[in-house]
Structure 1
Amino acid sequence: MRKQLLLAALLLTTVKGFAGSIDYLSQQDAEYFAHPSMTGKIGVSGAYYNPAGTAFMENGTYMQINNQTHLKTYKMKIDGETFKSDKPSPIIPSFQLVHVNNGRSFFFHGGAIAGGGNVAYEGGLGMFKTMENKLNAVLPGNPVTFTGGNTVKGSSYYVTLQGGMAQRINDEWSFAVGVRYVNAERKLRGVGNYSLNIGPLNADPRFDINSERTAQGVTGIFGVDYKPSSKLNFAFRYETETRLNFKTKEKNLHAFQGSFGIFNKIPNPQNPSSTLGQDIAGAVVGDKNVKEWTDGARGKRNLPAMASLGTSYAITEKTTLLASGNYYFIKEAGDTFGAYDDYHNGYEVAVGIDHQLNEKWTLMTGYQYTNTGANKHTYKDTDYALDADMFGLGAKYKYSENLDLMATGATVLYHSATSVTNVKYSKHVYSIGLGATYKFN
């Protein structure tokens, strides 16, 4: 078990989506990339962003299908070495379905509520370098050197399906209740290579892991919409904490090949009650992320509760202003492995504009600032949630009376940051959204 823990520490990695906080992804349809301030809008996207507002839509059945494409560059630098992943996520689909009948609506949404797709870090991870110090602190004479790694691959998908009902109370107020099912899967596979030189002993320890973590959970959704006039709208949405108890399986675990196993029977001169092998493993057992990837490990990494407030205001017949904010209750979230221990609660603020050029075309643009609640004590190869600025632009085209088409794009500029272990993290993402909305007569 201790070898497994050490192995996992050296190869741990995951994915972080470009918006939201912790594991959350705020981008749930194509329109989000044009202006992320979606909560105050009334429309088909409200199946996720403003479920209570769907009760104010015209009678009918609406379906919107979306695809997201993300071109991602993630980097970590330490001691002059750079580990980089530029693996894209070309296809991330989602859909919304809304049926409205005289002030009552039924809404459904499917997509990826958290995660972020795939990463592939060339040559390994920054953690491979920092682990040299941990191992050499146990073994005298600094005999361990990281010599390189393969392309370490990780993926993280939290697939969701949610639905519920909204009811209009009067001409100004409506409410909504719903439920969300989440199926989470996180994978890790990679190899790190080291050299070990102690006297006559020369070895090439090699780490090899193929780990998968899965969990399922349920979220409660509550919403309120207040529409005091035809020009002004306010909306609020609250989502309960999603309890996710992860179970871990390692499909291809090989302990050190080379190997550190020879130290299991050698007493540690500095700690006679223990062996060098035990203390090597003990050097990393305390890492709060190690246990998550060990075969048979179980524990909570819940999605935190969140609240969202938004507004829209039509300043003219053709121009509408949008504003919204999201707040993530990270510090209150259940977390067996200590991943959230040093986080603050995160938030997002966003603004946007819709401008109708004519009967066919509508232009959209917007901006969002994300504060993830992270700091230098939380950054690590496994989970570096960086603050970010997002700029979006898009257009809608009314192809026919029943069909609207949409194309959007966004660039996300992350604020690079350095961890307490002196690893510098940076990201840059370009996103493209395509969507189509059809109203059934």
Structure 2
Amino acid sequence: MKFKQKLMILGTILSATSFAGSIDYLSQQDAEYLAHPAMVGKIGVSGAYYNPAGLVWLEDGTYIQVNNQTHLKDYSMEYNGEKFKSDKASPAVPSVQIVKKAGDTAYFFHAGAIAGGGSVAYGGGIATFPEIANKFQGMLGEKFEAEFLSGSTIHGQSYYVAFQGGIARKFNEAWSGAVGLRLVDAERKFKGEGNFEIAHKDIPNLKVNPKFDIDSERTAFGASGIFGLNYHPNDKFNLAMRYETETKLDFDNKESKLRKGFKDSVGVLGDKFYDIIGKDPAIKQWMSEGSGRRNLPAVAALGASYKVAEKTTLLASGNYYFIKEAGDDLGNFDHYDNGYEVAVGVDYELNEKWTLMTGYQYTNTGANEKTYTDTDYVLDADMYSMGAKYKYNSQLDLMGTYSFVQYKTDKNLKDITYKKRVSAIGLAAIYKF
């Protein structure tokens, strides 16, 4: 818990829905990922997350890698000409890897934000609010007019702090394996207000003002297993795989204001309005009835690296997310297909001090127009990356990286349009004892 609090002090953590990954997962677990996301087949300290079985091929010693990512985000949603935006940045997204390698054995530890919905602040509300007004109108009939008047800033947070560790071991001169355990502490929050007006067309003074008022917090704790396998026949070629079991997360939801807000403002109609809200997929998981499973899917990853020349190494990797098999009590994953990512990258050793890196990744989230809501929309994306590593001395490496993510613009079945842009800067220091 103390480490989780330190991460929160350093800054709110960005969502998978806003960067890389599928469903809630965050693929960018360290700064090097922002230089070339094809990390699974690479041997390095980053392997404490991406390729634990490959850690046994490092030189003997103890390694610490400290990372920070800064994310600049611009999200928007639009409905019937009304636009709602969030441009809240995430200035500090920290993570750390520790590896101790001795002989044929390596021990590893990684801590960071494994998943989450991050931190957003939509000025004036969200696009679901005017859409809800249309639902009120449909319930009351043609003699009434229902209108969304205004909203406070809607704040959303979702962060899943993870601690994982394990052991890797050589089987022979070419093969190695790893096993590990991950613990996940998850928290999701949704807070804000929306003001509506319902008026009778023939009776000017007959007006009521329903109020959407929510302060929801959902928490869960879970664990998963990590298994790795690595094939390293020579100094030029490396092949690796990683499998993570599904993480069971049974969320406990606390929310008491939403029903009360409708009852206080419109009396007997309050329960009917609350029922309308409860059928909206963007809101229902945040209501008092919203406790239940929202598991992290199992993940399979495969990657390779090949040194094609003395100074040039090519990288390729992919992640596959078993979303359709994931436990989900509230319908969050309904209509999803399994998601995947494919990535390529290049390392070029400019000289003894500098290594240049670049890469590309395509993300297919498995989502479609039936899955998008204002509080859960994961869009397919292209990610373009670059970076540089500087060897300060025999013990210390420094790294600077940058990624730009271009998202596909899309609409849901209610004709709400979703757009995103994200840029990210990564910094890291790797020290060997």
The TM-score, its normalising length taken from structure 2, stands at 0.93
Structure 1 residue 17 displacement after superposition: 3.5
Amino acid at match of 1:171: E
- Out of 351, 355, 363, the position equivalent to 1:358 is 351
- Out of 253, 256, 267, the position equivalent to 1:261 is 267
Structure 1 residue 137 displacement after superposition: 1.2
Report what 1:108 is aligned to: 109
Structure 1 residue 282 displacement after superposition: 3.2
The superposition leaves residues 166-219 of structure 1 with CA deviations (integer Å, 9 ceiling, x where unpaired) of 001111100000000000001111010111112342122222211110000001
Question: CA 1:191 to 1:125, structure 2 compared with 1: closer, same or farther past 3 Å?
Answer: same
- Find the residue that maps to 2:261 and give its secondary structure: coil
The answer to whether the aligner puts 1:338 opposite 2:322 as a matched pair is: no
Report what 2:77 is aligned to: 76
The superposition leaves residues 255-306 of structure 1 with CA deviations (integer Å, 9 ceiling, x where unpaired) of 127622243xxxxxxxxxxxxx554333343334544212364200000001
**How far, CA to CA, are the matches of 2:56 and 2:284 in structure 1?**
46
Counting only pairs closer than 5 Å after superposition, residues 175-186 of structure 1 correspond to structure 2 as: 175-186=177-188
**How far, CA to CA, are the matches of 1:83 and 1:184 in structure 2?**
27
Question: CA 1:302 to 1:338, structure 2 compared with 1: closer, same or farther past 3 Å?
Answer: same
- Find the residue that maps to 1:22 and give its secondary structure: coil
Counting only pairs closer than 5 Å after superposition, residues 155-166 of structure 1 correspond to structure 2 as: 155-166=157-168
Task: Note the residue ranges of structure 1 that are not aligned, 5 or more in a row.
Answer: 1-13, 264-276
Counting only pairs closer than 5 Å after superposition, residues 401-416 of structure 1 correspond to structure 2 as: 401-416=394-409
- Out of 383, 395, 399, the position equivalent to 1:390 is 383
Report what 1:271 is aligned to: none
The answer to whether the aligner puts 1:188 opposite 2:190 as a matched pair is: yes
**How far, CA to CA, are the matches of 2:82 and 2:280 in structure 1?**
23
Report what 1:226 is aligned to: 231
Contact 1:58/1:100 (<8 A) preserved: yes
Counting only pairs closer than 5 Å after superposition, residues 83-162 of structure 1 correspond to structure 2 as: 83-141=84-142, 142-162=144-164
- Find the residue that maps to 1:162 and give its secondary structure: strand
**How far, CA to CA, are the matches of 2:238 and 2:371 in structure 1?**
38
Report what 2:371 is aligned to: 378
- Find the residue that maps to 1:24 and give its secondary structure: coil
Structure 1 residue 100 displacement after superposition: 0.5
The answer to whether the aligner puts 1:369 opposite 2:362 as a matched pair is: yes
**How far, CA to CA, are the matches of 1:247 and 1:290 in structure 2?**
16
Amino acid at match of 1:28: Q
Amino acid at match of 1:242: T
User: Number of paired residues?
Assistant: 414
Q: Which moved more, 1:288-297 or 1:154-163?
A: 288-297
CA RMSD, Structure 1 to Structure 2 (Å): 1.5
Report what 2:340 is aligned to: 347
Question: CA 1:310 to 1:73, structure 2 compared with 1: closer, same or farther past 3 Å?
Answer: same
Amino acid at match of 2:221: Q
The answer to whether the aligner puts 1:241 opposite 2:238 as a matched pair is: no
The superposition leaves residues 202-250 of structure 1 with CA deviations (integer Å, 9 ceiling, x where unpaired) of 1222222111100000010000000122100000000000000000112
Question: CA 1:149 to 1:121, structure 2 compared with 1: closer, same or farther past 3 Å?
Answer: same
Amino acid at match of 1:364: M
Report what 1:59 is aligned to: 60
The TM-score, its normalising length taken from structure 1, stands at 0.91
**How far, CA to CA, are the matches of 1:292 and 1:326 in structure 2?**
28
Structure 1 residue 122 displacement after superposition: 0.8
Runs of 4+ in 1 over 6 A off after TM superposition: none
Task: Note the residue ranges of structure 2 that are not aligned, 5 or more in a row.
Answer: 1-14
Aligned-pair identity (%): 58
